Amino acid sequence: MATEVEQPRLRLGSIAPNFKAETTKGPIDFHEFIGDSWVILFSHPEDYTPVCTTELGEMARLAPEFAKRGVKLIGLSANTLDSHEGWIKDIKDVTGSLVDFPIIADKERKVAYLYDMIDYQDTTNVDEKGIAFTIRSVFFIDPKKVIRTILSYPASTGRNSAEILRIIDSLQTGDKHKVTTPINWVPGDKVIVHPSIKTDDAKKIFPNVEIVKPYLRFTTLPEVD
Ligand code: BEZ
């Protein structure tokens, strides 16, 4: 496990580092937890904080949407299991949603350091002992354990759950059809033929190819996706 000074540089395409941790659903080995699913690992600065409470309630509400896409959710907050258990009750009170996915108890910031989830330097963003809070990171990990997207938000800004779902939809659509997705794409919108596919081949693969420029070719995908 990494220390504060040994935080690995994780990039898109890196293998998600493995770790063992205590969670609200029991101890896990992260790679075993991933198995052959997509995983979204997201961190919180601290339990019983206002923005995090709204975020976890919303992720719990959307859990069936993630499950439909074969995505396992796992949260992390830099507190103990006991603290997490009490907070989950509060989240249910406040948002009406039960957090039924694991939350990692990362009081010592071990996973936070391993995943570089700490501010560079924000002296206002520390706990009572002066240790930097974890930031709001979101790691999108595919079934091969490859990190496909990383989002980082400051403590002051709650995440956008629709964007998290949209990114999963884009990644899964891209993998399945060899397409890329344009600005503000949502499922059902036109997609872009991957640059590696020649236009002649694209015309054979996709039902209708709209050539705007040789490098910008739109197509539509069947609704069932
Ligand atoms: C929050 O979740 O509301 C929060 C957590 C840490 C610092 C600031 C806000």
d(C-alpha 185, C-alpha 180), whole Å: 10
Q: Among 43, 44, 51, 87, name the best residue to mutate to test ligand 1's pocket (greatest count of ligand atoms within 8 A of Cβ).
A: 51
d(C-alpha 185, C-alpha 176), whole Å: 16
* Domain at 189, CATH number: 3.30.1020.10
Ligand 1 center from residue 125 Cα (angstroms): 9
Ligand 1 center from residue 52 Cα (angstroms): 7
pLDDT tens-place string over residues 3-57: 655 667 899 999 999 999 999 999 999 999 999 999 999 999 889 999 999 999 9
Check if 52 has its Cβ closer than 6 Å to any atom of ligand 1: yes
- Percentages helix, strand, coil for the chain (3-state, rounded to 5) are 30, 25, 45
* Domain at 108, CATH number: 3.40.30.10
User: Do 45 and 133 belong together in one domain?
Assistant: yes
In a domain, 99, yes or no: yes
Ligand 1 center from residue 53 Cα (angstroms): 9
Q: Report phi then psi at 188, rounded to 5.
A: 105, -25
Task: Evaluate if pTM is beyond 0.85.
Answer: yes
Q: Among 46, 87, 124, name the best residue to mutate to test ligand 1's pocket (greatest count of ligand atoms within 8 A of Cβ).
A: 46
Ligand 1 center from residue 185 Cα (angstroms): 30
User: Do 191 and 141 belong together in one domain?
Assistant: no
User: Do 86 and 186 belong together in one domain?
Assistant: no
Check if 133 has its Cβ closer than 6 Å to any atom of ligand 1: yes
User: Do 59 and 155 belong together in one domain?
Assistant: yes
pLDDT at residue 154 in the model:
86
pLDDT tens-place string over residues 158-198: 999 999 999 999 999 999 999 999 999 999 999 999 999 99
In a domain, 112, yes or no: yes
Q: Which atom of ligand 1 is closest in space to residue 125's alpha carbon?
A: 7
Domain interval for residue 73: 20-159
pLDDT at residue 42 in the model:
98
**Cα first-last separation, the chain:** 39
User: Do 111 and 201 belong together in one domain?
Assistant: no
Q: CB under 8 Å to 55, separation ≥6 — which residues? A: 42, 44, 136, 158, 159, 161
pLDDT at residue 71 in the model:
98
d(C-alpha 193, C-alpha 209), whole Å: 8
User: Do 26 and 125 belong together in one domain?
Assistant: yes
In a domain, 74, yes or no: yes
Q: Among 42, 47, 49, 55, name the best residue to mutate to test ligand 1's pocket (greatest count of ligand atoms within 8 A of Cβ).
A: 49
- Residues annotated as catalytic (active site), given as ranges: 52
How many domains is the chain partitioned into structurally?
2
Question: Cβ(66)–Cβ(32) under 8 Å?
Answer: no
In a domain, 202, yes or no: yes
Check if 97 has its Cβ closer than 6 Å to any atom of ligand 1: no
In a domain, 15, yes or no: no
d(C-alpha 33, C-alpha 76), whole Å: 14
In a domain, 225, yes or no: no
User: Do 24 and 109 belong together in one domain?
Assistant: yes
pLDDT tens-place string over residues 67-79: 999 999 999 999 9
Check if 46 has its Cβ closer than 6 Å to any atom of ligand 1: yes
